[in-house]
Structure 1
């Protein structure tokens, strides 16, 4: 392939090429998105009782859409339903009316969201640099990054930020007011944190850098978009501001700093002694968590300002439109909200939510432009060289082929696609509980309790998955339940077990066969958060025998290799005998 033809094929602007070439690059972008989603679907449907880890929180309660009698008067279910974004819940409800179970929809949604994200990424990139190859590279880099992480594949509210944020950017750049406002409203309905970032971009659009200083824009359309956008943002966020939660106020930073749940090893670790971890790669507090799960080529976007500055040496950079400033505006808005979220800690939830998604989108767009501009400069350099230096042509072609190979096959060297699907390993247990009355309550400290609401559609008294410590009133109740359960399960007196059964209306008690060993408790970071559990370890090492361990065989109604189920009426009978 000649240098001139390769250069033309990769870097010709959209207004100079035939529509078929534009369709080629767009179709190629969608092809990769579909391929990645098919690989994810294969993981999602590789067996029964398979569910995304986070869907066990965000989706399990939606089974009420198919059967309203499920989880009656259940604190855990009511709480998770109350904190779900309204648009997200409405979408699942609507699809459930068509007969598609929420847990199935959760696995199908990432494919649709991936295609929409790819389409808007491609189209948005063309608004910044009208070269189809740049749109393809940007969308491919973004797709690889998203499928290397578990945000999009989770099908949870955060999966919606990518298509909705890109849709907002696209319509903003196109100056399409109504679609832009719709995208902004949908952000509030699906992922409210994104509204603050988009609002920041609208405000920053009013400013221009002119002759070495900042000044207000003289474009009336900028003011129209800002006022209309901020008005839309206000209206869509107003219900959140006025909503009074029955589960108490959000925990304060001062309270969280002394709570083991927020410290290293806790249920939701936030505070770290390591400065770099806290600010740069920690899971909830940092700028961009999980840096290891990012396509390396995305970092080339950091060099875009240099290419624009040296446009004389990178000719295609001159075709980058002034709209590219939206990338800087997006970064400033994201960083600004990141700082504000730290100042108002937990009132706006995790600070990382304002950077970990938006910065990846902005960097991917910048990377698509950077790589395309760089390739064109390399082609020019090779083409303009004397014929006595044919190696330069080989270098240009070789670099292009190498880049294409890296772009396409990089995922082969990583866990790709990356998903957090959890396999239910106790089908007999789920079948047994699903055949019991819908109002039953299951008391358990077993890790398997995390799966019961999703796979058996029955309520649990507490479990690690549902001990979310952000709303004080909710967590105080869950924490007390857990403490009571720890004391009762490991007490030498069945009176405490009887109290738990009568207080919380427990119908079954689920035990791991190894539950009465010190190693079992030490192996659970969740249990070791509680001083009561640490005290139990000491008691077990001293030889104190829990009363429940002595009646497991007499009371069990279901036994598997690792688990034993006890009906609580049997426990009450033994407690009564001891009392008499």
Structure 2
């Protein structure tokens, strides 16, 4: 391959990472009211770091704060301590995570095949893959999984004990799921392969790494195991199978009648991550085991280091944890979490090596000066080289959307400004699916429920959340003023936020999320179909305190102060 200094290849790798991050930042700051999809869950509550008075007695904020890993919270808290708004920090953090991820990918690639060009390809295709999915850009705990795994692999390949132990600790403190991958890999490395099977390692260093690594993992995970939360217990399989949320079409679809979907490509239950081979150049990584069998045709094979064994070891460790997670469904969270991130890393590194082997073989072919080597064959070889290089560098240009960030833009700025002007302890009740989930991030005010926060894995949390959702559906479509008043009093509601078409049958029929709460959503829909107008509709004129083209805000205090006699008069009018 072309002799270019290592620092140039590394600089190019980092430059592409910055370039992709800048494309994401353009979207992040394209509007005043814009937030990353998953940040609406994992970051909104961190505004408490800026103002502790925000979200008082908010069980949704309390829940997401309780499940946030310690080091992850600390990173945002430190940023807030120097005056950086958590939601702003969330937008710029992917740039830095991407750079560190790129560095470790580059460094670890060199430990497998010591060619900077190969490291550049591996880091480039990994960056392209990461920006075609919203893991990195979310700056949530899973955004750190790639850099944590790569740092662990790099230090393990270099046999640096202390950095390996630090990496394991950070994995447990930022994204605990991956600590099982690290521990599994250390155990797998105790077994060495020989012609007739396997044998236990004779190297004391392997045991030192394994036992000390597992010890650190145990100490880091012990607080998780001993802690008790008001949001426990973890939902059981029997409970989950009774909830529409986990069934096909549900908010957190998991179970499927098709085994291929359930075990192979299901979003949460499947083995393979979404878009594992985008960019399509990643498909070439699958052929690495085949190319390794032909060192005479691909001379670079001879330069591959023994550290390549870490890739199949990580693969087997990931598969092992995948099936263990299926055996203990929800106890170890989602099975997909144990393959999605590691598979992307394995595929990217394999792709870098594979394409390097092919490019080197083609360049050697072109360099041959024999009578039988015609100019036509030389043109064909050079064309293939140009095609591969072009695909590596410019594949994102063929995408309709790149990068994929899943930023959510708020379309009701005046509404957000209205709620911002209200006291910090207000509570807003709303079934407006595309609005209520944005309010905590855009207004720093509490909501009663919201689709984005309907995460059902902790039954102590979701049981209460589901009860709230049902209560709000019943109240919003109730014909009883006393029932509405009782709801306001029991839950300390300050405002109702209504879609202007909320009292039509189609509003409920077309809302897949609300349809999960049966039979209550269906009963409300049937009442509307019979022409029964909910009592709240009668307050739109007298108790409206703010209105936009599509939504109206009602004062709960105004509703509570109304009398049945007054309502009868209004209805007569």
TM-score normalised per structure 1: 0.95
Listed as ranges, the gaps of 5+ residues in structure 2 are 569-573
Of 517, 530, 542, 1:554 maps to: 542
2:259 counterpart residue number: 275
Alignment of 1:533 onto 2:533: no
SS state at 2:561 partner: helix
How many Å separate the matches in 2 of 1:226 and 1:407?
37
Alignment partner, residue 490 of structure 2: 503
Tell me how far apart the structure 2 counterparts of residues 298 and 235 of structure 1 sit (CA, whole Å).
37
Q: Give the aligned partner of residue 13 of structure 1.
A: none
- Is 1:381 aligned to residue 365 of structure 2? yes
Residue 175 of structure 1: CA displacement? Answer: 0.6
CA contact (8 A) 1:148 1:293 kept: no
Cα drift, residue 273 of structure 1: 2.2
**Aligned mate of 1:258, from 229, 234, 242:** 242
Shift of 1:578: 5.9
Contact 2:276 2:344 in 1 (8 A): no
Please give the alpha-carbon distance, in whole angstroms, between the structure 1 residues aligned to 2:205 and 2:479.
74
Q: Secondary structure at the match of 1:574?
A: coil
Distance 1:111 1:209 in 2: 41
1:218 paired with 2:205, answer no
Residue 187, structure 1, aligned to residue 171, structure 2 = yes
Superposed, 1:471-490 pairs within 5 Å as 471-490=458-477
Instruction: Give the C-alpha shift of residue 289 in structure 1.
Output: 3.1
Q: Is the 8 A contact 1:297 1:367 kept in 2?
A: yes
Q: How much has 1:227 moved relative to structure 2?
A: 1.1
Q: CA deviation at 1:452?
A: 0.9
CA distance in 2, matches of 1:92, 1:438: 22
Which residue number in structure 2 is paired with residue 84 of structure 1? 68
Native 8 Å contact 2:362 2:385 kept in 1: no
Cα 1:216–1:558, aligned 2, differ >3 Å: closer, same or farther?
Answer: same
2:428 paired with 1:442: yes
Residue 117 of structure 2 aligns to a residue whose secondary structure is helix
Instruction: Tell me what 2:571 maps to.
Output: none
Distance 2:235 2:396 in 1: 40
Q: Is the 8 A contact 2:234 2:457 kept in 1?
A: yes
Instruction: Decide whether the 8 Å contact of 2:538 with 2:567 is kept in 1.
Output: no
The alpha-carbon deviation at position 387 of structure 1 amounts to 3.5
For 2:541 and 2:237, how far apart are their aligned partners in 1? 47
Q: Which residue of 1 aligns with 2:268?
A: 284
Q: How far apart are the structure 2 equivalents of 1:576 and 1:163?
A: 62
Alignment of 1:562-577 (within 5 A): 562-575=550-563, 577=565
TM-score, length of structure 2 as denominator length: 0.96
- Quote the offset at 1:576 in angstroms: 5.1
SS of aligned partner of 2:30? coil
Question: Structure 2 vs 1, CA of residues 101 and 8 (structure 1 numbering), >3 Å: closer, same or farther?
Answer: closer
**Equivalent residue, structure 2, for 1:12:** none
User: Cα offset for 1:293?
Assistant: 6.9
Deviations 1:212-247 (A, max 9, x none): 311111111111111111111111111111111111
Corresponding residue for residue 101 of structure 1: 85
Report what 1:417 is aligned to: 403
Find the counterpart in structure 2 of residue 523 from structure 1.
510
1:393 paired residue number:
378
Equivalent-residue separation in structure 1 for 2:225 and 2:378 (angstroms): 61
Q: What's the CA shift for 1:276? A: 2.5
- Displacement of 1:303: 1.3
CA contact (8 A) 2:33 2:410 kept: yes
**Count of equivalent residues:** 564
Matches within 5 A, 1:11-22: 21-22=5-6
**SS of structure 2 residue aligned to 1:357:** helix
2:30 is equivalent to residue 43 of structure 1? no
Q: Given the alignment of the two structures, is residue 130 of structure 1 paired with residue 83 of structure 2, yes or no? A: no
Residue aligning to 1:151:
135
SS of residue in 1 equivalent to 2:167:
helix
Q: Aligned-pair distance for 1:538?
A: 1.1
Deviation, 1:543, is 0.8
Residue 292 of structure 1, CA deviation: 7.0
Instruction: Check if 1:428 corresponds to 2:414.
Output: yes
In the TM superposition, what is the alpha-carbon distance from 1:120 to its structure 2 partner?
A: 0.5
Structure 1 pair 286/385, CA: closer, same or farther in 2 (3 Å)?
Answer: farther
Trace 1:298-447 onto structure 2 (pairs within 5 A).
298-384=282-368, 386-388=370-372, 389-414=374-399, 415-447=401-433
Runs of 5+ consecutive residues of structure 1 not aligned to the other structure: 1-6, 10-19
Q: Residue 182 of structure 2 is aligned with which of 172, 180, 198?
A: 198
Aligned partners of 1:8, 1:578: CA distance in 2, in Å?
86
**Separation (CA, whole Å) in 2 of partners of 1:244 and 1:464:** 26
Name whichever of 425-434 and 42-51 sits farther off: 425-434
Q: Distance in 1 between matches of 2:465 and 2:427?
A: 14
Per-residue CA deviation, residues 407-435 of structure 1 (Å, 9 max, x unaligned), is 11111122110011111111111111111
Maintained 8 Å contact 2:273/2:339: no
* Partner SS state of residue 566, structure 1: strand
Shift of 1:210: 1.5
Deviation at 1:323, TM superposition (A): 0.9
Contact 1:184 1:232 in 2 (8 A): yes
* Aligned 8 A contact 1:142 1:364 in 2: yes
Checking the alignment, whether the CA contact within 8 Å between 2:233 and 2:459 is kept in structure 1 is: yes
CA drift of 1:146 comes to 0.3
Describe the SS at the equivalent of 2:309.
helix
Q: Classify 1:119/1:456 alpha carbon distance in 2 versus 1 (closer, same or farther; 3 Å).
A: same
